[in-house]
Amino acid sequence: MPLTHRVTTAVPFRAHAIIPLALFEAVRALDLPTDDGLEEFHDELVVKRLGMNRTVVAQIGRYDRLARSDKRVDGEEVAALLRLVGRRADAGLVYAEAGRRAARRAARRGSGTLRLLRHMLPAGFGRLLARRAAADVFGVALRRDRATEAATMDETIALRATPDGAACAFFGSAVAELLRIFTPFDGALLHDACRGRGDGACHWRAGPPEEE
């Protein structure tokens, strides 16, 4: 009998549309011109600042529609966007701002009634909402570790974008914001292990605000 070979293809990974939407919105917010008397150079600024590009405006509209429908997009295009942001001099600011924006959108995905009631229910309920949003939107496993918040991410989207792990800052910012929204958390998430540094997985642990 002739030998048959099973053809295997890589399963394309998907990312929630909230992620690229928040990244584009953060870029636009940081690139908007300030009232600094440079109006005569406005056309030149439009060319140089990605966030003022008409394509960015169109992409924001596209991802906003997808995010409102709770859709996912090709993970490679999200990785490419994370990579593009990583080339900016202010990449850290963009990742942090985008993470907070993404978390606020992720928090609004659930039932409005549940969000309103979370302050009247046991503390664990808010943590459950944060855990669900972190897993569904960001692929991050959030848990309690010895009475401390901890998070782990096995997905390689950040590493695909920035091999040194720079894009992990987006996910750390997003999960920290989710904790602030849903729980009494008032600190920072410290990225104490990273696949970009050779660790087995990306890991964050809670720390005081001054360590951020």
The three-class DSSP label of residue 100 is helix
**Which residues contact residue 83 at a Cβ distance below 8 angstroms, ignoring those fewer than 6 apart?**
161, 162, 167
In a domain, 136, yes or no: yes
Residue 138: domain span: 14-211
Please state the domain count of the chain: 1
In a domain, 125, yes or no: yes
In a domain, 77, yes or no: yes
Kind of pairing, strands 141-145 and 202-207? unpaired
The CA angle 45-46-51, to the nearest 5 degrees, is 110
Q: What is the per-residue pLDDT for 42?
A: 46
CATH number at residue 116: 3.90.1520
Residues 208, 168: Cα–Cα separation, whole Å: 19
In a domain, 27, yes or no: yes
Residues of the chain with pLDDT below 50 are 1-10, 39-48, 211-212
In a domain, 191, yes or no: yes
Q: What is the per-residue pLDDT for 1?
A: 43
